[in-house]
Structure 1
Amino acid sequence: MTRRLCILAASAGSFALLAGAFAFQYVGGLAPCDMCLWQRWPHAAAILIGLVALVVPNRLLLMLGALAALTTAAIGGYHTGVERGWWEGPTTCTSGPTAGLTPQQLLDQIMAAPMVRCDEVAWDMLGLSMASWNMVASLFLMVIWLAALRLPR
């Protein structure tokens, strides 16, 4: 496998994951939560990095591509933990603590809650949510970026 092919594969992988996310949103009707949106940005960056790296051979670009893939994988891992209740997510994505709230404060919190919550799984396959699949696929893409670093121009 050549360096160029690795860059194309990693960029195409990010493109496919991003296209899939948009398809789930606009074709499947699954609105993304805040953390779902966060996971999209590193994929967009990886695509742009890949396009530039195909024209301008530079090891730093390959490292940035790997970092973008690792970043979206880390966000996906964090999101998975929130979905599974391993830790609390950001208050903009999940319900906050309710102990000690007055009924009016509780109502205000409910009314201010986002429409799509980060701590609920909207879709899963084989027991893994979209966030989990993004993490797995993005780690694989990171490996491809790192393989490109090891190959000669």
Structure 2
Amino acid sequence: MKAALVNRKMGLFLALAGILALAVAWWVEHVLHIMPCELCLVERWPWRILILIGVVDILLPGAAGGPVLWLAVPVLLTSIGLAACHVGVEWQWWPSPLPGCHAPHISGHTMAERLASMPLLPSKPCDAPTYLIPDLPISMSMMGGLYAAGILVAFCVWKYRVAHTARRIFY
């Protein structure tokens, strides 16, 4: 019973971490009116999955909940990998793997055909970093990767401490 309560706390932590990440992204997009690029939108998916993992762990502690927590590790590693990919694009180390991050392909022979082939909304290029804190050269992509790494470290430390405490009780 006590292990289920401990797992629920970690599930709540993971769900809140995902909600915080998505809340910051929403705030930047809707309050600061900074348009996200296609890679930014892809980087949000691991946080949505992390929320789902946390909710499953809260609702189904023990049998299904405890082992589900381990799915947070590949999800957070994916988030770190996506952030590293995006930072590499921002620093011009490689081109973006997503076609939406490149200049639009306008086709047609007449001006009407060219206008019709243009995207409805202009997209932000993925190699244009967004800096939230003035004079601090850390883009939102890098912040997201560092945040994911911090959550991953917190998860691993928590798992180690829970396992170490359980060993002390049984020996």
Following superposition of structure 1 onto structure 2, how do residues 60-139 of structure 1 map, counting pairs within 5 Å?
60-90=67-97, 91-95=99-103, 115-125=123-133, 126-139=136-149
Distance of 2:8 and 2:156 partners within structure 1: 12
Q: Which runs of 5+ in 2 are unaligned?
A: 1-5, 167-171
- Larger deviation, residues 116-125 vs 45-54: 116-125
Q: Counterpart of 2:50? A: 46
Q: Which letter maps to 2:139? A: S
Larger Rg: 2
Same amino acid, percent of matched pairs? 27
Q: Take 2:79 and 2:55, find their aligned partners in 1: how far apart are those partners?
A: 18
Following superposition, the deviation at residue 124 of structure 1 comes to 4.1
Equivalent pair of 1:25/1:32 in contact (CA under 8 Å) = yes
**Counterparts of 1:135 and 1:36, CA distance in 2:** 12
Q: Specify the alignment match of 1:19 in structure 2.
A: 23
Q: CA deviation at 1:40?
A: 0.6
* Structure 1 residues 107-128: Cα deviation after superposition (integer angstroms, max 9, x where no partner): x7xx569521111113343211
Taking CA–CA contacts closer than 8 Å with sequence separation of 6 or more, which of the two structures ends up with the larger relative contact order? 1
Per-residue CA deviation, residues 58-86 of structure 1 (Å, 9 max, x unaligned), is 44311111221221111011101100111
Compute the RMSD of aligned alpha carbons: 2.5
Identify the residue that residue 34 of structure 2 maps to in structure 1.
30
2:100 is paired with a residue whose SS is coil
Provide the rounded CA distance (Å) in 1 between the counterparts of 2:143 and 2:7: 26
Gaps of 5+ in 1: 97-103
Q: What's the CA shift for 1:95? A: 4.2
Query: What is the match of residue 6 of structure 1?
Result: 10
Cα distance, 1:144 vs structure 2? 2.4
| 2:86 and 2:126 in contact (8 A); partners too | yes
SS in 1 for 2:127: coil
Provide TM-score, normalisation by structure 1.
Answer: 0.78
Correspondence for 1:147 = 157
Say whether the 8 Å CA contact 1:62–1:146 is kept in structure 2.
no
